[in-house]
Structure 1
Amino acid sequence: MKHSTSPTPSLAPSYASGTGSYYSRGTSPLPPPANHSRDCLSATSKSYKYLRRLLKFNQMDFEFALWQMIYLLIAPQKVYRNFNYRKQTKSQFARDDPAFLVLLLICVCVTSLGFAYVLGLSFWQSISFIFYVVFVDCIFAGCLVATFYWIVTNRYMRSSNLEPDIEWGYAFDVHLNAFFPPLMLLHFIQLFFYNWLISQTWFISRFIGNTFWLLAFCYYVYITFLGYNCIPHLKNTRLLLIPLPIVFLFYLMTMIIGWNVTVSFIMFYKYRLY
């Protein structure tokens, strides 16, 4: 029998469908990558290319990024099919096109302006508010969350140490995906109800405001789960859904004790500015 020294093209479908893997199923005669310095260099090179494209708007696919944003709201599971396709064609799960990040930051700035208007902030307070939301709430907090999931998934959820690591860039992409629906709920849709309804002391005000937060957290947890569940060599990804019942119990507690989470959130924003 004639033996090949490289993986055959037929291996790609089994890997993408989750029924096979290049390293753990014994379908490839090649050993797993062992040169860690090469992996780091590759990750650094990919990050450099990604950041370099941030200012090249003519090379970004904004139409596809907008499609992803819409489907993150109505059918988020469809978005991650493209990530699997990218892994097969470009050998990485993480986005190589910063169009989604650019559109997300634009949405953050626009919704923050609306939020600043509702809060009655001055011009410089509005600029400071946008700065906080973009660089602290979105990017800095996103880096912390992405690093947490990156460590957890690589250390505890890989089915084998021979499987490839989860890229940090992909973990950050998952955070950005999960961040968008809560942004729309809390920084945009909620604004239309705040002054005349949510800010009042009525039960219905507390119910609507806290329900917005419940939906936002559920969106974030579920989309995060989808992001890691679509990777074939990760196990026990359902554990990422554990926060859902905790969030629901917290929601019930806020309703019982009469705590309007939205009003507290608004007060926190004002305290951070003054």
Structure 2
Amino acid sequence: MLPTTTNGGKRSASQRSGLPLYLRRIIRPKQMDFEYTFWLMQQLCISPKTAYRHTSYHKQTKNQWARDDPAFVVICCLLLAVAAAAYCATFSDGLWHSVLTVLSAVVVDFLLIGMAIATAGWFLANKFLRKRTLHSHAIEQHVEWMYAFDVHCNSYFPLFLLLYVLQLLLAPLLLWRSLVAALLSNALYAAALGYYHYLSFLGYSALPFLEHTEVFLWPIALILVVLPFAVLTGFSPTRFTLNIYFG
């Protein structure tokens, strides 16, 4: 039992020091693995199960589920800033408003809302979805908050490609006041949000000590229920979102 106790202590210490190390690496680009990050982003779009298969490898080598490399977050923030700037160049009419829009996209939409979603997923998983240990000597495992935030970041990247990049390219069509435009806009948002929740499900189901992770798929059912009503009423999420940011 002594080796088990010692390892558990080392793991706790590593997890406690993980966030400061994570933050220190943000200002040291040479310590970030950008090549792996771009590979991971590609896999999240074409083979998400392969991407999460590497989560177990990370656990075996780093002794934690969460990434200790902030490269993914840094790249996402940069891409979001560039995309938001492109929207501002297209729809905004003022420099100060453009700066606020870019900051809002990165800090509020991606980081702060992402932290809130990660906290909710972290609480739900630890409170209700952990398997009960059958043996008293088994090591009790918990979902790390940083891993929950990793799940959000992973899920957000394909959503970014659909709702930031593709939507901007299709904006002349999506902004038409027609049933076809509303249909395409709703389909785009349904696909982006549905894939976000599907990747979240994969992220939590990759943890072997969790069960009933299909609860993370439930929002997809709600999206499918709301979708026909949104189309029939002519509601366009593209117009709605752009009105929020650009009036």
Residue 246 of structure 2: aligned partner: 270
Residue 117 of structure 1: aligned partner: 89
Rounded Cα–Cα distance in structure 2 between residues aligned with 1:252 and 1:118: 30
Rounded Cα–Cα distance in structure 2 between residues aligned with 1:121 and 1:142: 28
Residue 155 of structure 2: aligned partner: 178
Out of 42, 49, 61, the residue aligned to residue 77 of structure 1 is 49
Out of 230, 255, 258, the residue aligned to residue 206 of structure 2 is 230
Give 3-state SS (helix, strand or coil) of 1:190's partner.
helix
Deviation per CA, 1:222-266: give whole Å up to 9, x if none: 000000011111000112111111111111110111111110111
Which ranges in structure 2 are unaligned for 5 or more consecutive residues? Answer: 134-138
Deviation per CA, 1:204-235: give whole Å up to 9, x if none: 11111111100111110000000001111100
> Percent of pairs identical after alignment?
33
CA contact (8 A) 1:118 1:191 kept: no
CA contact (8 A) 2:15 2:64 kept: no
The alignment's C-alpha RMSD in Å is 2.1
Residue 188 of structure 1: aligned partner: 165
**Matched AA of 2:18:** K
Deviation per CA, 1:94-114: give whole Å up to 9, x if none: 111111111111111111111
CA contact (8 A) 1:154 1:165 kept: yes
- TM-score, structure 1 as length reference: 0.83
Rounded Cα–Cα distance in structure 1 between residues aligned with 2:126 and 2:202: 16
Rounded Cα–Cα distance in structure 2 between residues aligned with 1:171 and 1:32: 26
Moved over 6 A (4+): 31-35
Which ranges in structure 1 are unaligned for 5 or more consecutive residues? Answer: 7-29
Deviation per CA, 1:166-225: give whole Å up to 9, x if none: 00000000000001111111111111111x211111111111111110011111000000
The total of aligned residue pairs comes to 242
Residue 16 of structure 1: aligned partner: none
CA contact (8 A) 1:114 1:188 kept: no
Rounded Cα–Cα distance in structure 1 between residues aligned with 2:113 and 2:175: 27
Higher CA-based Rg: 1
Residue 69 of structure 2: aligned partner: 97
Residue 54 of structure 1: aligned partner: 26
**Matched AA of 1:185:** L
Deviation per CA, 1:59-89: give whole Å up to 9, x if none: 1110110011111111111111111101111
Out of 133, 140, 162, the residue aligned to residue 105 of structure 2 is 133
Residue 44 of structure 1: aligned partner: 16
Sort the Cα spacing of 1:33 and 1:243 in 2 relative to 1 into closer, same or farther, 3 A. farther
Rounded Cα–Cα distance in structure 1 between residues aligned with 2:84 and 2:30: 26
